[in-house]
Amino acid sequence: MIRQYVTGGTTLSVKLNINEYGPENGRPVVLIHGWPLSGESWEKQIPALEGAGFRVIAYDRRGFGQSEKPSSGYDYDTLASDLSELLEARNLRDVTLVGFSMGGGEVARYMSRYGRDRIHSVVFASAVPPYMLKTDDNPDGPLTKEKADEMESNLRSDRNAFFDQFTTEFFSVGSSLKVDQEDRQKAIELCRQSDQTAALECMKAFGTTDFRGDLPTVIVPTLVLHGAGDGTVPFEGSGKRTHAAIPGSELVVIPDAPHGCNVSHPEEFNTALLEFLRR
């Protein structure tokens, strides 16, 4: 069952496109998508979660998909506030937050700002924490300033060419594409729904936000789920460090899987996710 909401006014600061699936009395699982996609990017997870009896909430981040596209508010404090407002508006408790890629930053920032009151557990999937940008005090950051500047320049100059290249790398391990062209084209269409300001500002946010101070506040059961061959958010500089920063966290690394491992390796991804959720 799908229950679609576009909510604003006194409840949410922006109108977010929110889709719900599964029984209303199921334990809530909130899916936070990666950049520059939308909640539709979870299409290979939603049936498995719904079938297991969970109440699944997949929303489009502000500026992306079918959500409102304001001219500002693309820093992680604001994005975490959007998430908090969503949980309050839907009166969700005992929630598992699943943050993919950029969405992992919202999970980390939400936990440090709003705490565990509504949260049962969290998942960092191919996620950007603890800190992507390589700096003098973050030598293990996997994103150089030169690469970040190149990405911004390419997105500004030719969106279509950028998204074509980005989705190829997103779903590849080395030079080997791990999805069929249908899946890649679906991702490109989701990318094209993004507002340009939102895409640029969120690119800056996920590339330059330091979550090292947020991760110690994550004191709920945690799964770190990553593709071994992720070339977009490499495991060594992200997932491995997040796992080390959160005592007691569980780690699942999917062999030969790219950044978009939820699409390329849905069986392995869903198995790990469901095993974690059922505990």
Listed residue (53, 27, 31, 56) closest to 41, CA to CA: 31
Distance CA 215, CA 246 (A): 6
Catalytic residue among 38, 41, 101, 238: 101
Tokens of 114: 């709003």
Q: Judge whether 101 counts as a catalytic residue.
A: yes
Amino acid identity at 121: S
**Is the dihedral angle over the CA atoms 190, 21, 259, 87 positive or is it negative?**
positive
Contacts of 133-141 with CB under 8 Å at 24 or more apart are 133/207, 133/208, 133/210, 138/210, 138/212, 140/236, 140/237, 140/241, 141/237
Distance CA 106, CA 97 (A): 9
Listed residue (162, 132, 126) closest to 148, CA to CA: 132
Amino acid identity at 15: K
Tokens of 87: 């949980």
Catalytic residue among 33, 226, 259, 265: 259
Amino acid identity at 90: R
> Would you please indicate which residues are annotated as catalytic (active-site) residues?
101, 230, 259
